[in-house]
């Protein structure tokens, strides 16, 4: 199996698992009306799902350069970490 295929499958698995964990956090947010769980859900989506979307869906659809895609992914990671950081303030 080519390395590109393995990479795409691993990225897809990461996105699906990240979406599942984010949905669990979102359910916790809805059930307990907890802003902390809402922020955690957003952070997980930004870190695990958005990069996949940029690389495999949005990027090719709007013809992003490698630098633009890397910038978008870096910004998503930064926003995700900031959202998760927000969960540590109690």
Encode pLDDT of 52-72 as tens digits.
999 999 999 999 999 999 999
Which contiguous run of DSSP H or E holds residue 52?
Answer: helix 50-53
pTM here is 0.90
Q: Does residue 89 have a pLDDT over 80?
A: no
Domains of the chain: which residue ranges? 13-86
Helices and strands in the chain, H and E counts? 5, 0
């Amino acid at each position: 199996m080519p390395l590109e295929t393995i990479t795409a499958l691993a990225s897809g698995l990461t996105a699906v698992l990240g979406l599942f964990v984010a949905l669990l956090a979102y359910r916790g947010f809805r059930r307990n009306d907890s802003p902390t769980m809402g922020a955690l859900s957003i952070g997980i989506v930004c870190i695990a799902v958005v990069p996949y979307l940029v690389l495999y869906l949005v990027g090719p659809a709007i013809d992003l350069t490698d630098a633009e895609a890397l910038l978008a992914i870096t910004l998503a990671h930064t926003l995700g970490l900031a959202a998760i950081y927000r969960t540590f303030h109690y």
